[in-house]
């Protein structure tokens, strides 16, 4: 088994901490380690050695990856000339990493939280066994939903498979509106959140790309075969789309996808509120004060449900409820936790304004 960590993505949802020159995978949001490093540590040593881990990353951030993961061979850092979403990234890893066709590739986003790391490793091992079944399914991990979230895609389970806990996947549902999410949860089918964590044999994903996204596979193959300049040319025109949309949805219709339920304390840390929730849960579990969680020099009196990421300066909070405070040298964000999904739009608007100014 080998692991491909996807370390792309801009991360404007975690503005002002995540920035173009230091996106989310490189932030130590949960403590000392960056999210990328935590993702790497999570698969070692039980599942893979350093030489079995690769990272797909924007060319501008290769040095950051080398600094975070000095153990992995240089050839395992796959630099994209530009981000083109996950379909191209997966195709690049499937083509460029020379592995046997029957080896199982685990695809892991670099910016997630997993609380139960031992459970996660055991789950990956079981998922790899499913991927090795005779029908070579594309395996996805399904997260047990805690509510009708609109920030996640959903996986709808079909018939059970022979492997314990595994099901066929009937269909994928892209991030639904609130009423559709509620209807999914209330419906007759078992559903799960799509974590974006996949396991498949190398030959299976190459076949699936050939079947439903041949243009992407061909472009990446041409780029890899002919060297860096060719990869630039390939990425200049390759279609930017997600692996979910380009491969998993059509493959599920063809009965080629399986899922395993994951109950390992997962979060995509996709908003400040999600990070707040993760840190509050961790504090509660550790028996520590959970009213104002965070990092940096802080002093709190009587706040609840509050996240404070302090920077250089002391941050004093007093009597806040469900509030996010993120202090960086460039900007300060103070927002209601239940509106943290709107941070992305504000960050993008500010970036546009800066461009207009320059």
Q: Contact with a second copy (CB under 8 A): which of 75, 175, 239, 299?
A: 299
Under DSSP, the state recorded for 287 is T
- CB of 26 vs a second copy, minimal distance in Å: 22
Under DSSP, the state recorded for 321 is B
Q: Is 327 in the site for a second copy (CB under 8 A)?
A: yes
Q: Is 342 in the site for a second copy (CB under 8 A)?
A: yes
- CB of 240 vs a second copy, minimal distance in Å: 28
Q: Is 301 in the site for a second copy (CB under 8 A)?
A: yes
In whole angstroms, give the CA distance from residue 256 to residue 248. Answer: 9
With beta carbons less than 8 A apart as the criterion, state whether 128 and 219 touch: no
**What's the token pair of residue 15?**
């503005």
Q: Which stretch binds a second copy (CB under 8 A): 77-85, 104-112, 255-263, 312-320?
A: 312-320
**What's the token pair of residue 335?**
């927002």
Output the CA angle 169-4-98, nearest 5 degrees. Answer: 105
With beta carbons less than 8 A apart as the criterion, state whether 54 and 1 touch: no
Residues 6+ apart with CB under 8 A from 107: 3, 4, 6, 90, 93, 196, 197, 198, 199, 243
Q: Is 313 in the site for a second copy (CB under 8 A)?
A: yes
Q: Is 302 in the site for a second copy (CB under 8 A)?
A: yes
**How far is the CA of 170 from the CAs of 8, 49, 71, 239, in angstroms?**
29, 34, 40, 26
Q: Which stretch binds a second copy (CB under 8 A): 109-117, 199-207, 250-258, 298-306?
A: 298-306
Q: Peptide bond preceding 318: is omega within 30 degrees of 0, i.e. cis?
A: no
- CB of 329 vs a second copy, minimal distance in Å: 7
Q: Is 339 in the site for a second copy (CB under 8 A)?
A: yes
Q: Is 284 in the site for a second copy (CB under 8 A)?
A: no
With beta carbons less than 8 A apart as the criterion, state whether 337 and 322 touch: yes
- CB of 326 vs a second copy, minimal distance in Å: 9
Given phi > 0 = left and psi -120 to 50 = alpha, else beta, which region is 226?
alpha
Q: Is 350 in the site for a second copy (CB under 8 A)?
A: yes
Q: Is 216 in the site for a second copy (CB under 8 A)?
A: no
Q: Which stretch binds a second copy (CB under 8 A): 87-95, 147-155, 205-213, 340-348?
A: 340-348
CB-wise, 97 or 309, nearer to a second copy? 309
DSSP codes, 116-162: -HHHHHHHHHHHHHHHTSTT-PEEEEEEPPSS--SSS-EEEEEEE-S
With beta carbons less than 8 A apart as the criterion, state whether 238 and 216 touch: yes
Q: Is 355 in the site for a second copy (CB under 8 A)?
A: no
Q: Contact with a second copy (CB under 8 A): which of 73, 228, 331, 348?
A: 331
Q: Which stretch binds a second copy (CB under 8 A): 132-140, 150-158, 173-181, 335-343?
A: 335-343
- CB of 86 vs a second copy, minimal distance in Å: 29
Contacts with a second copy in 58-117 (CB under 8 A)? none
**What's the token pair of residue 264?**
């390992």
Q: Contact with a second copy (CB under 8 A): which of 21, 32, 98, 330?
A: 330
Backbone angles phi, psi at 328, to 5 degrees: -130, 165
Contacts with a second copy by CB under 8 A lie at 16, 299, 301-302, 310, 313-321, 323, 325, 327, 329-336, 338-340, 342-343, 346, 350
């Amino acid at each position: 088994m080998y692991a491909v960590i996807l370390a792309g993505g801009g991360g404007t949802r975690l503005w002002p901490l995540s920035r173009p020159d230091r996106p989310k995978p490189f932030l130590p949001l949960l403590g000392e380690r960056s999210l990328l490093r935590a993702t790497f540590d999570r698969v070692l040593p039980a599942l893979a050695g350093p030489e079995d881990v690769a990272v797909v990353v924007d060319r501008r951030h290769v040095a950051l990856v080398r600094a975070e993961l000095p153990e992995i061979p240089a050839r395992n850092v796959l630099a994209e000339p530009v981000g083109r979403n996950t379909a191209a990234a997966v195709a690049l890893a499937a083509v460029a990493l020379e592995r046997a066709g029957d080896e199982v590739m685990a695809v892991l986003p670099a910016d997630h939280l997993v609380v139960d790391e031992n459970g996660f490793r055991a789950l990956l091992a079981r998922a790899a066994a499913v991927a090795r079944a005779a029908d070579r399914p594309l395996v996805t991990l399904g997260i047990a939903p805690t509510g009708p979230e609109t920030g996640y895609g959903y996986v709808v389970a079909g018939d059970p498979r022979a492997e314990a806990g595994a099901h066929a996947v009937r269909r994928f549902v892209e991030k639904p509106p609130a009423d559709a999410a509620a209807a999914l949860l209330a419906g007759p089918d078992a559903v799960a959140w799509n974590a974006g964590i996949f396991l498949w044999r190398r030959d299976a994903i190459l076949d699936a790309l050939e079947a439903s996204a041949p243009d992407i596979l061909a472009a990446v193959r041409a780029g890899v075969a002919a060297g860096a300049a060719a990869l630039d040319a390939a990425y200049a025109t390759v279609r930017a789309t997600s692996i979910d949309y380009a491969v998993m949805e059509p493959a599920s219709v063809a009965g080629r996808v399986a899922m395993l339920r994951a109950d390992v304390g997962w979060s995509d840390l996709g908003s400040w509120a999600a990070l707040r929730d993760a840190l509050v849960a961790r504090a509660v579990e550790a028996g520590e004060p959970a009213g104002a969680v965070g990092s940096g020099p802080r002093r709190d009196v009587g706040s609840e449900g509050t996240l404070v990421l302090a920077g250089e300066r002391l941050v004093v909070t007093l009597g806040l409820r469900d509030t996010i405070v993120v202090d960086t040298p460039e900007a300060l964000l103070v927002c209601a936790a239940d509106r943290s999904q709107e941070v992305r739009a504000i960050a993008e608007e500010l970036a546009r304004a800066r461009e207009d100014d320059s």
